[in-house]
Amino acid sequence: MVPFRLTFTLSRRQRLAVELMPWLPAIAASLGFTIGAAFLATNASPRFLLLLLIPPVVYRGLIAFVFDLVVRGGLPVEVSVDEAHCEIATRGSRRTFALAGIFQVFKAGETWTVLHLDGSVLTIPANAVTREQIDYLRSFTQRAASARVEPQS
């Protein structure tokens, strides 16, 4: 079974479900700040409209994400798994993590999600991966769980 390689494209909806969650606090803060600046601009002085330039500067990563999501849409992903590591390559970025750090593998709708201890989240469309490959990734979660449960002498 090992090694294996997967190549797939995440749709806009799949990307939004995974990549938007870390930005929710920034979106809430920007919304509150914008409402406050608009209130001050209408009730105190139009100069407060200049404050509306701050959120796009501070959260430029969010602006870049939204632009990329609208313009490009799908995200091509290449996953390479060997005996001990998983490497994920997307447009211009490459991440590697140890398979021993996988603590959860679950299916939600039409995608499989792999969670890692370092905070990495890998989303794989169900039609892009075989059952044997998922079972291999799940075996690492079972090994980690059995290591935590072993009785101490």
Provide the pLDDT for residue 33.
94
Instruction: State mean pLDDT over 12-28.
Output: 88
CATH number for region 4-11+74-149: 2.30.29.30
pTM recorded for the entire structure: 0.72
List the domain boundaries for the chain. 4-11+74-149, 19-71
* Number of alpha carbons in the 13 Å side-chain half-sphere of residue 55: 19
Quote the tokens at residue 23: 């930005």
Residue with tokens 């290449």: 78
The answer to whether residue 153 scores a pLDDT higher than 60 is no
Question: What does the pLDDT average to over 142-149?
Answer: 69
Segment 30-75, tens digit of pLDDT: 999 999 999 999 999 999 999 999 999 999 999 998 998 899 888 8
Lookup result for tokens 């995974």: 18
* pLDDT average, residue stretch 81-87: 90
CA distance 138 to 1: 13
* Residues contacting 74, CB < 8 A, separation 6+: 9, 10, 11, 12, 15
**In the structure, what pLDDT confidence band is assigned to residue 20 with cuts at 50, 70 and 90?**
confident
